[in-house]
Amino acid sequence: QSVLTQPPSVSAAPGQKVTISCSGSSSNIGNNYVSWYQQFPGTAPKLVIYENNKRPSGTPDRFSGSKSDTSATLGITGLQTGDEADYYCGTWDSGLSAFGGGTKLTVL
């Protein structure tokens, strides 16, 4: 049971927009930054959003992040088939880290 709650799956058509939610508590998301990771099957996770809404170099500007109180959201616009992957939110709580349970994005 993850301390951060994500929907197991989301789906949308190519070119559309999708959002993935991540719900936590005042002790984790409420007082810490949120990051997002993309993982393709058989590969290591990759950071796509850090400090709630910043993109590392290499992350397309189609990806965005936001945070409000104890929840965070990853948004992806102009969906491409290559975006189909698992997405995980992550944060910290009193010096310990935690991840959400992950969301499988299907691009129909």
Contact call for residue 32 and another protein (CB under 8 A) = yes
Contact call for residue 87 and another protein (CB under 8 A) = no
Least separation in angstroms between residue 13's CB and another protein is: 26
**SS3 state at 80:** coil
- Which are the contacts of 12, defined by CB distance < 8 A and separation ≥ 6? 18, 79, 107, 108
Q: What are phi and psi of 70, to 5 degrees?
A: -110, 20
**Residues 42-81 as x/- pattern, contact with another protein by CB under 8 A:** --xxxx--xx----x-------------------------
